[in-house]
Amino acid sequence: MPSGASCCARWSPQSTLARASIRAVNATLRVLTVARWYPSHDGPGRGTFVADLVGATVAAGVDARVVSFDRVLVRGRLEARDAVLVSARASYQQVATPHALFVVPATRGAPGVPVARVPVVRRPGSGDAAGLVEDYLATLRPFLARLVVDWRPDVIHAHTGLPDGIVAAQVGHELGIPVVVSEHASTIEAELADREALDRYRTILGPGVRLLAVSPTVAGRVAELLGVAAAAIGIVPNPVDDAVFLPAESAGRDPDELLWVGALGAHKGIEVLLRALALLRATRPSLHLRLVGGERTAGDVARWRALASELGIGGAVAFEGWLGRPAVAAAMARASAFVHPSPSETFGVVAAEAILSGLPVATRRSGGVPWIVELSGGYGAVADGDDEAAFAAAIETVLDRRLAVTADEARGRLVAAVGTAAVAAEMIACYRDVIDAFGPIPRADEAAPTATSTVSSRSTEMPRILVATEREQSLPRVAGLPGELREQIVLVVPPRAEGAPPDADGSLQGGLRLVEAAPVRHERPPRGRGPVARFKRATWRPPLTADEELAVAIRQAVAEQRHRGGPLELIALDAPAAVIVAGLDPRRARLAPGSLRWLADRWDAVQPGRRR
């Protein structure tokens, strides 16, 4: 590979074994992926590259599982938070078992691969490395200790170092399982600016752990931070789906259409792109831009619309929101050039998808994307500066097709370098290499369990009751659930704050039913010295606290639900809610093993006709 050493020598499946033989060879290899970044109902585009890699290795015969996470925040009074943290963690450890959490979503993540959304009890604002690692370690350690009893992985593959890789490395060492860590983070310098964070990251370089990067740029940045040679960090790129992104005929392309696919945040260089377009339209007045992607923060689209209008190109810029992968492939088949204005990129999967589609790429000096252009043999242009004029010149080079290779040559090079089968083969070779270096791994079960041994086959009803101790934070989160699921939900929350407008819950749509706890009564013990006053004081009971009122509302919601018998599972949206639910009568209600992402995955898994 150019510009950086790969983890292992490339293994071409066509030149060694037939695909069926490869699958047979890999069938005994068990890989557990640990990744916060993994597609979910509230972030379908989050970690798609992780799901692509898992899917690619499964297609090559690997037996895979994925552990991702569901944050359950500690809220409430500061003086009570430590007690809530401890109690909530203990409550989840009782119920968050592999059998309860693993499900196979129908429409998200790697097809057919079980995923467990393990609840992480997190303290808000505890972004320090010690707190981050502690919170995730407290979740992953007991979960994997249970998992290996029935399904022991040969290797754990964590994505991003802080905290996933650090935590996976520690648990892997304790369990005697080798670990591979792939670094993707584009903000790695900021993450490791703290000395403690850097020291904890160095543990990834310990025995039994292999550190990888997705591009030479990332490898160089990480190596510089750690003070090691770049060669100490292997390079295995993200896989790109060459079966979906296919070459298109030039006759079907719009010669004046530029395409961008990705988030619309300021960090992606959208301002430079719009200013470059304004410069180009002075000599190419029919040039127009299509932006496919969603907002990074609320108001991004409005900001870029305003800038486009200010630059006089408002009518030449179209915002289309997020599109599914087939629709993105169709967009790439229609445009004439792909523009990638991001100033920093770890890999640039959309650029690789564009080149596979026959769409040349104009890019800034972002690190990952110029490397993709290099891998293709030069099917694109890299700006020689960081301003809009330099980027406009790169776009002109691409539009004029002043390119080093043809579209077919570029595609062939990329298929061999980052195509699905090629990356899967290289990644599997790395797995085997680290396993061999680590030594033999004892298994609790020599006669391997069935593929569904850790996948839930629960016959209990889908959880319908959600509980939150924070009303304002919970409503938008529940509103993000799929509409059909939301219509079946009962959400138990505290009463509306005094003085809040009646439409304060307007973000909630659909048939969701809200059950409000009664307001807390503020009463003092009766006063007086007479016999009546003394009697009232002796029989007086203090009013219920906010948590007790919420528990009353929960019991009411449970009593009104019809079910087939046995306790109902209740979803907690925050840590105090988990503590309250865990304290209810277990014959009537019990804490569900996961939170919203687990619920959405479980609902998705059982919907008829949704299987890919």
In angstroms, the CA 291 to CA 285 distance is: 18
**Residue 270, by phi and psi: left (phi above 0), alpha (psi -120 to 50) or beta?**
alpha
Please state at what angle helix 166-175 crosses helix 129-150, rounded to 10 degrees: 40
Phi and psi at residue 118, in whole multiples of 5°? -80, 130
- Answer yes or no: is pLDDT of 28 > 90: no
* Tens-digit pLDDT profile for residues 568-611: 999 999 999 999 999 999 999 999 999 999 999 999 999 887 66
In angstroms, the CA 34 to CA 37 distance is: 9
Query: Residue range 469-480: average pLDDT?
Result: 92
- pLDDT for position 22: 63
- pLDDT for position 177: 96
The answer to the question of residue 452 being in a domain is no
**Residue 71, by phi and psi: left (phi above 0), alpha (psi -120 to 50) or beta?**
beta
Among all chains, which residue has been given the structure tokens 């079946």?
488
* Tens-digit pLDDT profile for residues 523-554: 777 787 788 777 777 777 788 899 999 999 99
Closest CA to 191 of 370, 72, 66, 36: 36
Phi and psi at residue 317, in whole multiples of 5°? -125, 125
The number of distinct structural domains making up the chain is 3
The answer to the question of residue 7 being in a domain is no
- pLDDT for position 114: 98
pLDDT band at residue 366 under the 50/70/90 scheme:
very high
Q: Which of 413, 446, 478 is the last residue of a domain?
A: 413
The answer to the question of residue 200 being in a domain is yes
Q: Are residues 188 and 277 in the same domain?
A: no
Q: Which of 413, 430, 449 is the last residue of a domain?
A: 413
Q: Are residues 350 and 312 in the same domain?
A: yes
Neighbours of 165 (CB within 10 A): 28
- pLDDT for position 440: 57
* Tens-digit pLDDT profile for residues 389-401: 999 999 999 999 9
- Answer yes or no: is pLDDT of 373 > 60: yes
Q: What is the mean pLDDT of the chain?
A: 89
- pLDDT for position 504: 55
Domain that holds residue 78: 13-239+420-438
Residue 163, judged by CB atoms within 10 A of its CB (0-12, 13-18, 19+), counts as buried
Looking up residue 232, the CATH number of its domain turns out to be 3.40.50.2000
Q: Are residues 171 and 265 in the same domain?
A: no
Taking a C-beta distance cutoff of 8 angstroms, is the pair 582, 602 a contact? Answer: no
Distances (CA, A) of 360 to 255, 356, 425, 497: 12, 9, 27, 55
Q: Are residues 478 and 535 in the same domain?
A: yes
Taking a C-beta distance cutoff of 8 angstroms, is the pair 580, 467 a contact? Answer: yes
> Which amino acid type is present at position 464?
R
Query: Residue range 58-67: average pLDDT?
Result: 97
Q: Is the dihedral of CA 55, 58, 62, 64 positive or negative?
A: positive
In angstroms, the CA 447 to CA 457 distance is: 21
- Answer yes or no: is pLDDT of 446 > 90: no
The answer to the question of residue 165 being in a domain is yes
Q: Which of 413, 429, 454 is the last residue of a domain?
A: 413
Q: Are residues 107 and 214 in the same domain?
A: yes
Q: Are residues 273 and 179 in the same domain?
A: no
Neighbours of 242 (CB within 10 A): 20
C-alpha dihedral over 452, 456, 458, 463, to 10 degrees?
Answer: -150
Q: Are residues 432 and 469 in the same domain?
A: no
Express as a percent the part of the chain with pLDDT over 90.
Answer: 75
- pLDDT for position 438: 85
* Tens-digit pLDDT profile for residues 108-123: 999 999 999 999 999 8
Q: What is the DSSP code (8-state) at residue 204?
A: G
Query: Residue range 470-477: average pLDDT?
Result: 92
3-state secondary structure of 446: coil
Q: Which residue blocks in 102-247 are alpha helix, DSSP H?
A: 129-150, 166-175, 188-191, 195-201, 216-226
Q: Are residues 159 and 294 in the same domain?
A: no
State the pTM of this model.
0.88
Q: Are residues 204 and 295 in the same domain?
A: no
Query: Residue range 411-415: average pLDDT?
Result: 98
In angstroms, the CA 37 to CA 49 distance is: 9
pLDDT band at residue 7 under the 50/70/90 scheme:
low
Q: Are residues 352 and 375 in the same domain?
A: yes
In angstroms, the CA 163 to CA 211 distance is: 14
On the question of a cis peptide bond just before residue 124, with omega within 30 degrees of 0, the verdict is no
Phi and psi at residue 258, in whole multiples of 5°? -100, 145
Query: Residue range 71-99: average pLDDT?
Result: 94
- pLDDT for position 439: 74
- pLDDT for position 19: 57
**Residue 299, by phi and psi: left (phi above 0), alpha (psi -120 to 50) or beta?**
left
- Answer yes or no: is pLDDT of 98 > 80: yes
Q: Is the dihedral of CA 33, 34, 39, 45 positive or negative?
A: negative
In angstroms, the CA 406 to CA 412 distance is: 10
- pLDDT for position 188: 92
Closest CA to 75 of 36, 42, 117, 121: 121
Quote the Cα angle for 223-224-228, to 5°: 50
Element of type H or E holding 178: none
Distances (CA, A) of 96 to 100, 185, 509: 6, 28, 30
Q: Which two tokens stand for residue 51?
A: 């799901």
Of 265-269, 413-417, 504-508, which range is least confident? 504-508
Starting at the edge strand found earlier in the chain, the sheet holding 317-319 runs 317-319, 288-292, 257-261, 337-340, 361-363, 380-382
pLDDT band at residue 612 under the 50/70/90 scheme:
low
- pLDDT for position 452: 40
Q: Which two tokens stand for residue 3?
A: 């510009």
Highest mean pLDDT among 36-45, 356-365, 525-534: 356-365
Query: Residue range 155-180: average pLDDT?
Result: 96
Express as a percent the part of the chain with pLDDT over 70.
Answer: 89
**Residue 37, by phi and psi: left (phi above 0), alpha (psi -120 to 50) or beta?**
beta
Phi and psi at residue 485, in whole multiples of 5°? -75, -45
The answer to the question of residue 122 being in a domain is yes
Neighbours of 436 (CB within 10 A): 10
The answer to the question of residue 258 being in a domain is yes
- pLDDT for position 458: 47
- pLDDT for position 431: 97
Contacts made by residues 367-370, CB under 8 angstroms, sequence distance 24+: 367/215, 367/217, 367/218, 368/214, 368/215, 368/217, 368/218, 369/340, 369/342, 369/345
Q: Are residues 71 and 149 in the same domain?
A: yes
The answer to the question of residue 490 being in a domain is yes
Quote the Cα angle for 365-272-417, to 5°: 35
pLDDT band at residue 441 under the 50/70/90 scheme:
low
Residue 100, judged by CB atoms within 10 A of its CB (0-12, 13-18, 19+), counts as middle
- For residue 492, the cross-strand partners are 467, 515
pLDDT band at residue 127 under the 50/70/90 scheme:
low
Of 165-169, 186-190, 355-359, 578-582, which range is least confident? 186-190
Please state at what angle helix 575-582 crosses helix 546-560, rounded to 10 degrees: 60
The answer to the question of residue 454 being in a domain is no
pLDDT band at residue 497 under the 50/70/90 scheme:
confident
Q: Are residues 169 and 262 in the same domain?
A: no
* Tens-digit pLDDT profile for residues 414-439: 999 999 999 999 999 999 999 999 87
Taking a C-beta distance cutoff of 8 angstroms, is the pair 477, 573 a contact? Answer: yes
DSSP-derived secondary structure for 303-329: HHHHHHHHTT-GGGEEE-B---HHHHH
- Answer yes or no: is pLDDT of 179 > 70: yes
Among all chains, which residue has been given the structure tokens 């097809």?
111
In angstroms, the CA 252 to CA 129 distance is: 51
- pLDDT for position 503: 55
